[in-house]
């Protein structure tokens, strides 16, 4: 509304200026005519000029085949091959013109053409102000400016500023894009189009939408400032503000940013995004959220300070990197670390710097953690260097597994088996299922272990190499926690909202 108010006030100003100009009345001057006739009865008090008629007014020279001039009213009716020239830069042509020398307003009708050194306008009805150098059409017009063709129902041309203002059903066509807009300004010198209303822009590869901004047609650059959107065959980038440089393949979105990859079922959100087309990559920061949409309702949600994406050397497989305060929530597992790499080639999430993984009632930690997915579900995981798994039996008792490396295998979305490699140790609390009470604790050591799980708890242990194990009464094992034990349940994200909070 503010924009339309500015335009309205500007038009009021033009009318005011026109009134001031009208006060300085200057008579139309006849410079040439092959034949002059005058009759009060036949021509109703007008003089009729025919044959190479030339007249002048306010620095404009006007030509036609015939004309009627009403001297007292300072009005001329010009017919056939009408041409108005203002120096060498601006020319108007048409079949008929009514011109008022007191108001400096001319009205062209039928086969109207306006030309300057860069632009040609075609319409059937055009009014112009000779003093202010402004033209106006209101029954549809077509403008050609080098490679750009624009059409609209209504249009204003401000010749002093080389500016067109278009309204209603605006269409701009060039070899690169087709633009549809409600309201648009176009500068014929800078070749910049300014959007003042809902605007759709298309070509074979891209679709852009915005409600305020500009398009530099020569440089192929776009800026949208309201409800901005950029789409191609399988990706959508939107935000409150969007800049796109087609020649350099760069896009920048700011505030309420959302990128959707329909091919890989990814949604990324944040408040700042930087996109490059070749090679394709993006970086997103500020309140980031990555959603990997699953075929089921169980999607993966990831948050970190920064998320970036690129493709591997094949250009086929996406790699996503997340930096600082990474947290993941999925119904079947949750995770936390400082940095992460997600390789889509083999569906592996690699976690670094104090990584933590939770699945069912099990907490898993190591120097490095790998999560292997299959069909968007947790398939198996690897714990490398100081691997540790903990599950809680009661408020003070914890089943524990420790080793150099561990592989955990998932069956039916439950942890089924754990293979331990190197320096394997376990503490396992025995439960009398009849009374549901802990009756003893098993401490076992072996170079390698195979551990079988049932409903998230230890059910059987195979000691593979150099086994040693003892079952103790509950009160006789003094140290019930293995080296490097930590219970970190308070850090576990228990919902997708929790991934935004870091303790």
- Per-residue pLDDT of 358-384, as tens digits, reads 988 889 999 999 999 888 788 889 999
Q: What's the mean pLDDT in 377-399?
A: 89
pLDDT value of position 90: 85
For the chain, which residues make up each domain, given as ranges?
A: 235-354, 357-485
Dist. CA 76–CA 54, nearest whole Å? 12
pLDDT at residue 287 greater than cutoff 50: yes
List, for residues 110-144, the tens digit of each pLDDT value. Answer: 999 999 888 899 999 999 998 888 999 999 999 99
Per DSSP, 34 falls in state S
Q: How far is it, in rounded angstroms, from Cα 26 to Cα 28?
A: 7
d(CA 373, CA 293): 13
**pLDDT at site 42:** 53
Q: Tokens for 65, please give them.
A: 């085949």
Query: Please, are residues 275 and 248 in contact by the beta-carbon 8 Å criterion?
Result: no
- Show the tokens assigned to 379: 């398939």
* Residue 58 confidence (pLDDT): 83
> Higher confidence at residue 3 or residue 277?
277
pLDDT at 156 over 70: yes
Q: Which of the residue ranges 7-16, 68-77, 102-111, 137-146 would you say has the lowest mean pLDDT?
A: 7-16
CA separation, residue 111 to residues 20, 53, 125, 140 (Å): 31, 19, 8, 12
- pLDDT tens, residue by residue, 417-470: 899 999 899 998 887 777 778 888 888 888 888 888 877 677 788 888 777 878
pLDDT tier, 59 (very low <50, low <70, confident <90, very high otherwise): confident
Share of the chain above pLDDT 70, in %: 93
- Per-residue model confidence (pLDDT) at position 23: 43
Please give the average per-residue pLDDT across 190-219, as a whole number: 90
pLDDT tier for residue 296 given thresholds of 50, 70 and 90: low
User: Which of 22-31, 162-171, 345-354, 383-392 has the lowest average pLDDT?
Assistant: 22-31
Please, which pLDDT band fits residue 97 given cuts at 50, 70 and 90?
Answer: very high
> Torsion angle, CA of 268/203/191/15, rounded to 10 degrees?
-90
Report the candidate in 65, 60, 64 with the shortest Cα–Cα distance to residue 28: 60
Q: Which of 16-25, 275-284, 338-347 has the lowest mean pLDDT?
A: 16-25
Residue of 368, 371, 317, 363 whose CA lies nearest to 339: 368
Q: What is the pLDDT of residue 456?
A: 67
Give the pLDDT band (50/70/90) at residue 297.
low
The DSSP 8-state label assigned to residue 434 in this structure reads: T
Confidence band (pLDDT; 50, 70, 90) for 317? confident
Please give the pLDDT value at position 116: 84
Note if the bond before 478 is cis, omega within 30 degrees: no
Q: How far apart are CA 193 and CA 443, in angstroms?
A: 77
So what's the architecture of 235-354 in CATH? Sandwich (2.60)
- What value does the mean pLDDT take over residues 273-292? 91
Task: Tell me the pLDDT band of 106, cut-offs 50, 70 and 90.
Answer: very high
pLDDT of residue 388: 95
Task: Of 66, 67, 55, 52, give the one whose Cα is nearest residue 26.
Answer: 55
Give mean pLDDT, residues 150-167. 91
CA 26 to chain CA mean position, Å: 56
Identical fold for domains 235-354 and 357-485, yes or no, is: yes
Predicted pLDDT of residue 303 = 96
E-only strand ranges, 375-486: 377-392, 398-411, 414-432, 437-454, 457-463, 468-473
Fold type of domain 357-485 = lipopolysaccharide transport protein A fold (2.60.450)
């Amino acid at each position: 509304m503010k924009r339309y108010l500015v335009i309205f006030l500007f038009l009021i100003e033009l009318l005011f200026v026109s009134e001031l100009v009208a006060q300085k009345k200057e008579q139309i001057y006849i410079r040439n005519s092959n034949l002059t006739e005058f009759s009060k009865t036949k021509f109703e008090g007008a003089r009729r000029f025919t044959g190479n008629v030339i007249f002048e007014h306010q620095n404009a020279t006007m030509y036609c085949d015939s004309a009627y001039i009403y001297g007292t009213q300072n009005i001329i009716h010009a017919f056939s091959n009408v041409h108005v020239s203002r120096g060498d830069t601006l020319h108007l042509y048409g079949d008929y013109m009514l011109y008022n020398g007191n108001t400096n307003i001319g009205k062209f009708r039928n086969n109207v053409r306006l030309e300057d050194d860069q632009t040609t306008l075609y319409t059937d009805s055009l009014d112009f102000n000779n003093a202010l150098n402004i033209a106006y059409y209101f029954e549809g017009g077509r403008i050609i400016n080098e490679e750009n063709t624009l059409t609209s129902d209504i249009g204003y041309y401000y010749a002093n500023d080389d500016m067109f203002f278009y309204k209603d059903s605006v269409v701009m066509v060039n070899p690169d894009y087709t633009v549809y807009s409600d309201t648009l300004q176009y500068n014929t010198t800078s070749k910049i189009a300014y959007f003042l209303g809902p605007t759709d822009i298309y070509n074979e590869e891209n679709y852009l939408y915005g409600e305020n901004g500009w398009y530099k047609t020569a440089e192929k650059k776009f800026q949208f400032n309201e409800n901005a959107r950029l789409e191609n065959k399988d990706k959508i980038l939107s935000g409150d503000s969007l800049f796109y440089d087609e020649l350099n393949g760069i896009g920048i979105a700011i505030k309420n940013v959302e990128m959707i990859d329909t091919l890989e079922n990814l949604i990324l959100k944040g408040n700042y995004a930087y996109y490059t087309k070749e090679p394709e990559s993006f970086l997103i920061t500020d309140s980031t959220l990555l959603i990997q949409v699953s075929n089921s309702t169980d999607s993966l949600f990831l948050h970190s300070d920064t998320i970036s994406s690129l493709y591997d050397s094949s250009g086929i497989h996406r790699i996503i990197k997340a930096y600082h305060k990474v947290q993941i929530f999925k119904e079947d597992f949750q995770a936390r670390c400082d940095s992460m790499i997600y390789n889509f080639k083999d569906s592996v999430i690699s976690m670094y710097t104090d990584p933590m993984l939770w699945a069912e009632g099990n907490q898993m930690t190591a120097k490095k953690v790998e999560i292997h997915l299959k069909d968007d579900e947790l398939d198996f995981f690897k714990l490398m260097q100081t691997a540790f798994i903990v599950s809680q039996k009661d408020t003070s008792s914890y089943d524990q597994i420790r080793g150099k490396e561990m592989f955990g295998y998932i069956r039916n979305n439950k942890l089924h088996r754990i293979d331990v490699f190197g320096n394997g140790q376990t503490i396992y609390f025995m439960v009398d299922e009849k009374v549901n009470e802990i009756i003893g604790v098993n401490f076992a050591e072996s170079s390698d272990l195979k551990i079988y799980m049932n409903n998230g708890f230890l059910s059987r242990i195979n000691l593979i190499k150099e086994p040693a194990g003892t079952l103790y009464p509950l009160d006789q094992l003094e140290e019930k926690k293995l080296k490097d034990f930590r219970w970190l349940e308070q850090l576990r994200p228990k919902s997708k909202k929790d991934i935004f909070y870091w303790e």
